[in-house]
C-alpha cells in the first residue's frame, strides 16, 4: 500500500468508534460531520477553489467535483486522497486529517445539490460600487502597480463570466506553470548563497531546485538565512486588509472589464 494511503488509513482508524459507527456499512452514504465540513471548506478555499470554482461545479481549469465518481463513491477520503496526491494537477500536500475534512465538505456540497434539484442562482457578489472599486484598484489596493485594465485584465470579465469565480480568482490567485514561481535564496554559514524555485518551505526545512535542475535541501537553524521572493506576496498581504466593502467594490469594478 502506498505511504499516502497508509497514512490516510491510520487517520480514519483514529476516528472515534462513535463516528465510525455512524457511517454505517460500506454501501451506505457517508454521513457529513458539519464541524469537519467547515474545516474542509477552508481547505477547499485554499487549495481547490481556483480550479474547481466556488460551488465545486468546475471551471475552465478544473472538472465538476459534484458529479465526480471519486467524490460520489468516496468514504472519509479513501478515494479523494489518492485522486489529489501531489502531481501535475495537484501541487499541495494535504495532511490525512485535511483530506478527511475535505471529504466531508464535498459530500456536504453533494447533499445540498441533491436536496435542492432546482438550479441554483448565481451568488450575490455584485453588490459593490464599481467606481469605489476603481479607486481602490488605483489607490489603497495598489493593484495598478502590477495589473492594468487595458493590459493583463482586459476582457477578464469575459474570460471569467461568473462573478463569484472572478472574486475568488483575485482573492486566491494561483501561479501558472511556466510563469513566475516562488523563489528562495538560502545562505548557510560562509557558503555562497543558493537560489532556486521552492520545492519545500516550512519552519524546519527548505529545499529548492536551481536553474540548472539541481535539487538542494537545507535544515533551518542558526547560521542559515532564508529569503523568499513570492510573486503573490502582495495578494497574501491584502487578505489581512480587505474589508467586505473592498472585496465587493473591486469585484464590481472587475466585472465591468469585458
Contact 44, 55 (CB under 8 A): no
Cell of 100: 478527511
Q: What's the confidence (pLDDT) of residue 21?
A: 47
Contact 66, 72 (CB under 8 A): no
pLDDT digits (tens, 9 = 90+) for 144-172: 999 999 999 999 999 999 898 899 889 88
Given a cut of 90, whether residue 255 has pLDDT beyond it is: yes
Q: How many CA atoms lie within 13 A of 27 on its CB side?
A: 0
Most confident of 50-54, 160-164, 184-188, 243-247: 184-188
Q: What's the confidence (pLDDT) of residue 54?
A: 85
| DSSP states of 179-195 | S---EEEEEETTSPPEE
Biggest distance spanned by C-alpha atoms of the chain:
66
Given a cut of 70, whether residue 104 has pLDDT beyond it is: yes
Q: What's the confidence (pLDDT) of residue 18?
A: 47
Q: What's the confidence (pLDDT) of residue 16?
A: 46
Q: What's the confidence (pLDDT) of residue 2?
A: 55
Mapped onto helix, strand or coil, the DSSP state of residue 77 is: coil
Burial of 207 (0-12, 13-18, 19+ CB in 10 A): middle
DSSP state of 188: E
Contact 171, 254 (CB under 8 A): no
The more confident residue out of 124 and 239 is 239
Q: What's the confidence (pLDDT) of residue 8?
A: 53
pLDDT digits (tens, 9 = 90+) for 206-247: 999 999 999 999 999 999 999 999 999 999 899 889 998 999
Q: Which residues does residue 200 pair with via DSSP β-bridges, in sequence order?
A: 207
CA distance to 25, 111, 203, 212, per residue, from 200 (Å) = 39, 36, 10, 18
| DSSP states of 124-152 | ----S-HHHHHHHHHTTT-GGGT--TTTT
Q: State percent of the chain over pLDDT 70.
A: 85
Q: State percent of the chain over pLDDT 90.
A: 50
d(CA 156, CA 130): 15
Q: What's the confidence (pLDDT) of residue 88?
A: 67
The more confident residue out of 162 and 10 is 162
Q: How many CA atoms lie within 13 A of 174 on its CB side?
A: 20
Q: What's the confidence (pLDDT) of residue 90?
A: 82
The more confident residue out of 156 and 12 is 156
Q: What's the confidence (pLDDT) of residue 33?
A: 92
DSSP state of 75: S
Q: Can you tell me the mean pLDDT for 245-251?
A: 94
Cell of 64: 465538476
Residues 6 or more apart whose Cβ sits within 8 Å of residue 107: 29, 30, 32, 37, 71, 74
| Residue 123 banded pLDDT, cuts 50, 70, 90 | low
How much is the mean pLDDT over the chain?
A: 85
Contact 113, 242 (CB under 8 A): no
Q: Can you tell me the mean pLDDT for 49-63?
A: 86
pLDDT digits (tens, 9 = 90+) for 71-88: 888 989 899 989 888 876
Given a cut of 70, whether residue 252 has pLDDT beyond it is: yes
Amino acid at each position: 500500500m502506498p505511504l499516502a494511503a497508509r497514512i490516510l488509513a491510520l487517520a480514519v482508524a483514529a476516528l472515534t468508534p462513535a463516528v465510525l459507527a455512524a457511517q454505517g456499512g460500506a454501501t451506505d452514504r457517508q454521513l457529513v460531520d458539519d464541524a469537519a465540513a467547515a474545516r474542509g471548506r477552508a481547505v477547499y478555499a485554499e487549495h481547490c477553489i481556483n480550479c474547481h470554482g466556488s460551488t465545486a461545479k468546475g471551471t475552465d481549469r478544473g472538472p465538476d467535483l459534484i458529479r465526480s465518481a471519486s467524490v460520489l463513491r468516496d468514504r472519509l477520503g479513501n478515494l479523494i486522497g489518492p485522486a489529489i496526491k501531489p502531481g501535475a494537477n495537484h501541487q499541495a500536500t494535504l495532511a490525512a486529517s485535511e483530506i478527511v475534512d475535505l471529504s466531508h465538505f464535498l459530500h456536504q456540497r453533494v447533499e445540498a445539490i441533491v436536496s435542492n434539484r432546482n438550479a441554483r442562482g448565481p451568488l450575490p457578489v455584485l453588490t459593490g460600487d464599481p467606481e469605489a472599486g476603481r479607486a481602490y484598484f488605483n489607490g489603497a489596493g495598489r493593484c495598478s502597480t502590477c495589473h492594468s485594465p487595458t493590459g493583463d485584465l482586459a476582457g477578464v470579465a469575459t474570460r471569467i463570466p461568473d462573478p463569484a469565480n472572478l472574486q475568488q480568482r483575485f482573492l486566491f490567485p494561483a501561479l501558472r506553470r511556466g510563469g513566475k514561481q516562488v523563489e528562495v535564496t538560502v545562505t548557510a554559514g560562509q557558503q555562497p548563497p543558493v537560489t532556486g524555485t521552492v520545492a519545500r518551505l516550512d519552519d524546519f526545512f527548505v529545499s529548492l531546485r536551481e536553474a540548472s535542475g539541481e535539487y538542494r535541501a537545507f535544515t533551518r537553524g542558526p547560521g542559515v538565512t532564508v529569503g523568499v521572493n513570492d510573486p503573490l506576496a502582495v495578494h497574501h498581504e491584502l487578505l489581512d486588509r480587505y474589508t467586505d466593502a473592498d472585496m465587493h467594490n473591486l469585484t464590481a469594478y472587475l466585472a465591468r472589464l469585458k
